[in-house]
Amino acid sequence: MTTEPVSRGRSLRVLDVALTVVVLVFAISTVIAVAMTPATLGSGGLGLDAAVAPQLENDLRRSVAEEVPFRIGRADMHLNVHIPRGDRDTRQVVAFGFLAVIALWWVGLLALRGVVRSARDGNPFDERNIGRLRRLAGVIIATPLLVGLLNRLLESTFDSQIVTPRLARVDTVPLVLIGAVVLALAEVFREGAALRDLEASTI
């Protein structure tokens, strides 16, 4: 009869330890990113993934099709481009964009850690978890929107008609759906907290 609660508690402790390790690794990554900001803004080496312009992509496909006996599929063609030292606008977008994404992820990571710790301590329906889950959902939904905005800024600052640099490639729809699920879970926690308070008041 007692094996299930013990097993559940052990699982939560393992998850809490894993999240603690993730937080430490992310903290180190944050320090490195902040330390690299002056180099990114200055003349340090900086390369970004870039999408090929549609016309050039079509030309490349035709050229390759003439050389190989098989059909070329519709996979995206992309390459890595070096950001010139004098392109300060693009470098500023990259530097501050990375910092903005890191700050956003810190909000979500700490929110998730708070939910896990409250569950580990035997209080999963802590009212604070409602706000934590909503913040986590907001981070998940905001991530592709922020990355998309930064990619648009890179398009406007990088002077090229051939390639378009991108900070990252993020699928918006799956993340928005996951964010919606987390928002729904926050409502479940809200109802659970309300039922717990009602039960406590009637005892």
Q: What is the DSSP string of the chain?
A: --HHHHHHHHHHHHHHHHHHHHHHHHHHHHHHHHHHHHHHHTTS--EEEEEEPHHHHHHHHHHHHHHSSS----PPPEEEEEPPTT-HHHHHHHHHHHHHHHHHHHHHHHHHHHHHHHHHTT-TT-THHHHHHHHHHHHHHHHHHHHHHHHHHHHHHS--SSEEEES----HHHHHHHHHHHHHHHHHHHHHHHHHHHHHHH-
N- to C-terminal Cα separation, the chain: 26
The per-residue pLDDT for 111 is 96
The per-residue pLDDT for 168 is 81
Query: How far are the Cα atoms of 97, 129, 146, 159, 190 from residue 134, in angstroms, in the given order?
Result: 23, 8, 18, 39, 11
| 47-52 and 78-82 strand pairing | antiparallel
The per-residue pLDDT for 35 is 92
Amino acid code (one letter) for 192: G
Q: Do residues 130 and 118 make contact, with C-beta atoms less than 8 angstroms apart?
A: no
The per-residue pLDDT for 8 is 56
The per-residue pLDDT for 70 is 46
Residue 35's contacts (CB-CB under 8 Å, 6 or more residues apart) are none
Tokens of 26: 């992310």
The per-residue pLDDT for 130 is 94
Cα dihedral value 22, 38, 99, 102, nearest 10:
-10
Per-residue pLDDT of the chain in tens (203 residues, 90 and over written 9):
444 444 557 888 899 999 999 999 999 999 999 998 888 888 777 877 777 665 555 555 555 555 544 454 544 556 778 888 888 898 899 999 999 999 999 999 999 999 999 999 888 888 899 999 999 999 999 999 999 999 999 888 887 767 778 888 888 999 999 999 999 999 998 888 888 777 777 76
